[in-house]
Amino acid sequence: MKVVIVGGVAGGATAAARIRRLDEQARIVVFERSGYISYANCGLPYYIGDVITDPEELTLQTPESFQARFRISMKVRHEVTAIHPDRKTVSVTNLENGTMFEESYDKLILSPGATPTRPRLPGVGIDKVFTLRTVEDTFRMKEYISKNHPLSAVLAGGGFIGLELAENLRELGMDVTIVQRPKQLMNPFDADMASFIHGEMRRHGVRLVLGHTVDGFAEKDHGVDVLLKDREPLHADMVILAIGVTPDTTLAKEAGLELGIRGSIVVNDRMETSIPDIYAAGDAVQVKHCVTGEDALISLAGPANKQGRIIADNICGGDSRYAGSQGSSVIKVFGMTAAATGINETHAVKAGLNADTVVLSPMSHAGYYPGGRVMTMKVVFEKETYRLLGAQIVGYEGVDKRIDVLATAIHAGLKATQLKDLDLAYAPPYSSAKDPVNMAGFMIDNISRGILRQWHLADADKLPRDGTVTLLDTRTPGEYSQGHMDGFRNIPVDELRERLDELEKGKPVYVVCQSGLRSYIASRILEGNGYETYNFSGGFRFYDAVTNDRCLIEKASACGMDQ
């Protein structure tokens, strides 16, 4: 059996190694048009910022090491230019010397990845406008920085690459601005959770220009003007396009393979394309989102590696199936960690799901053990069924651990109420006896039992201030004096039982505290005394962070200023 693989990074390299482990006799040829294979895409921004200093650390394998260990022929600087399914060959060009030839195959694996999205805008080809996808891109950007010592950069795009590059360029001492059309960074997060990411970026000196569209680029004063719609241009010494990636599927299209959303390759759960003996994996393929069942494009390294393994199993006589992508991700944002899995509330609503959420602010470990930090968690679930749909966490230590627990729970099909039952490891330096994931489960279980009724941030401006409902803040007078919601009166929770006569019965009581815990206790006191109560999800800390962020964005957008 002869297997030809197009693309030697995540999916392609994984498939090649797995085939060899399953079939010692198979002939395996990999064509990679760049000069590097099996490199760490996710590590590229950290080489720019000198966190990774040895360029060899970016490549997990070399053509020589693959040949030595696996006897796999890795042909770098070779580009496959056409697929001929009728005669089971591919056309290849050697980019070093220009020679062209055909290579036959019994099985063909396409793992071409995706290319940075380059919009058709004036000035996009200016040599001071960069993209970052390959090792060569990285070296080109690094060389420019080393030779020209730029003092400022504008990043068009606020996704994973944009944020990672912003951090690393700031660490090099550059002035950094992020501009993008959506009014938030990091689309896997709801806008309220993204507020905490915005705050961390601003604290480290990154300027945000959100809600503005890039119209083009122009060379000016030895730098680049980033032309924006409806506001003055942004000027910088260099610009990086980080507005996303586009599936690299020209080969597939020309070969007649079925294509899906944004031109991606359609595959079944065995990763087979519409043409026999041709498989595909990675950023170029359309997958099923395992939460919604919708077709999706999810460009992450984990799914690509799993898909490569599944292809290898099936080529070698197995029957492995891809269960779909969940979109679990994590990112370092200066000192903060932000992570998400499944779908967010915004996506759930768009998908027509009847979703609810809980927002909580637990400590990363036991409060009595030094060094604990608050994290903000948002768990999304389906009303009535309590199916877990997704989660987002922003904080410091322990974020990655909790998101992985929640990702596992979603994959296993646990209900949100079952989070309370998980037996999770506890020691004071690492967690609490009631782990944050358990706490989310307790809250959702209380909702399912009718013990807890909530009101959310979206309800804040809709609450009547005409006296038909009671608005109650149960924090201390000192906390209340430092900021509170309009129309809310202050009765500290520890004084509530003695001051019940101040609250008129027969009126619903909407309760808030700093994090949601004291207001929940107040709700139980009131419910036990005949009141109907609603507890604010997230607490005033959450409300304050989100509303301040929205105010900054709207004010800056209206005035044409950076945020």
Strands, DSSP E only, in 281-418? Answer: 285-288, 295-296, 329-333, 336-342, 355-360, 376-382, 388-395
Calculate helix-pair angle for 191-203, 160-171, nearest 10 degrees.
Answer: 10
42 is catalytic: yes
Nearest Cα neighbor of 291 from 458, 164, 409 is: 409
3-state secondary structure 196-255: HHHHHHHHCCCEEEECCCEEEEEEECCEEEEEECCCCCEEECEEEECCCEEECCHHHHHH
Rounded CA separation 34/79 (Å): 8
> Which tokens belong to 280?
């595909």
> Which tokens belong to 151?
């003092």
Residue listed under structure tokens 């941030």 = 457
Q: Which residues pair with 3 in a beta bridge?
A: 28, 107
Nearest Cα neighbor of 508 from 489, 487, 485, 527 is: 527
Tell me the torsion sign for CA atoms 409, 414, 417, 420.
Answer: negative
Residue listed under structure tokens 């068009």 = 156
Residue listed under structure tokens 């760049």 = 34
The 3-state DSSP class for residue 558 equals: helix
CB atoms under 10 Å from CB of 57, counted, come to: 13
- Residue 467's alpha-carbon distances to 13, 362, 487, 535, in angstroms, are 66, 33, 9, 18
Element at 477 (helix H, strand E): helix 477-481
**Which residues contact residue 22 at a Cβ distance below 8 angstroms, ignoring those fewer than 6 apart?**
312, 313, 316, 318
User: Are the C-beta atoms of 432 and 409 separated by less than 8 Å?
Assistant: no
| Amino acid at site 344 | N
Element at 348 (helix H, strand E): helix 345-350
Residue among 42, 290, 316, 551 flagged as catalytic: 42
Q: Which residues pair with 210 in a beta bridge?
A: 180
- Residue 164's alpha-carbon distances to 240, 392, 396, in angstroms, are 12, 18, 16
Give the active site residues.
42
